[in-house]
Homo-oligomer: A and B are copies of this chain.
């Protein structure tokens, strides 16, 4: 029996902060909309200020927090689901991230597990700003 991937386990991925410059640089490369790249122009957006590109937060947390923990077991990515941009992410805002193993489907014969990880990103009040489910095929031995 594998004991690395237990359904229901929740992991705290700590606090992440995106600076203004990081938000601008990421958006210029991948999502060059004015309310992600231009502080002055962003005042005229529905957000009234600069906000992070939707994928920026997950991209950073996944790379810096999740991959160091689980990257060495990854066989392949399978998909992403229910990625909801609920609230904007502002420069210098403290965002608390966690990930929960919501589904673990083990194939003992092939020695792998299809794991659905639910990411949650919350603001300082504990309110959800983003969430998503990511399904990954992991080796279990």
Interface positions of A (Cβ within 8 A of B): 29-33, 45-47, 54-55, 59, 62-63, 67, 71, 74-85, 88, 132
> Which chain B residue lies CB-closest to A28?
B63
User: For residue A85, which residues in chain B have a CB less than 8 angstroms away from its CB?
Assistant: 76-79
Q: Give 11 CB contacts A-B under 8 Å.
A: A30-B63, A32-B63, A32-B71, A33-B71, A46-B75, A54-B80, A55-B55, A76-B88, A78-B84, A79-B82, A80-B132
Copies of this chain: 2
10 tightest Cβ-Cβ pairs between the two chains A and B: A80-B83, A54-B77, A79-B84, A77-B85, A30-B63, A46-B75, A79-B83, A30-B59, A33-B74, A33-B71
A32–chain B nearest beta-carbon distance, Å: 6
Query: Apart from A54-B80, A76-B88, what are 9 other A-B pairs with CB-CB below 8 Å?
Result: A30-B63, A33-B67, A46-B76, A54-B77, A55-B59, A78-B84, A79-B82, A80-B80, A81-B82
> Which chain B residue lies CB-closest to A84?
B79
Q: How far is the CA of A63 from the CA of B30 in the complex (A)?
A: 6
User: For residue A79, which residues in chain B have a CB less than 8 angstroms away from its CB?
Assistant: 82-85
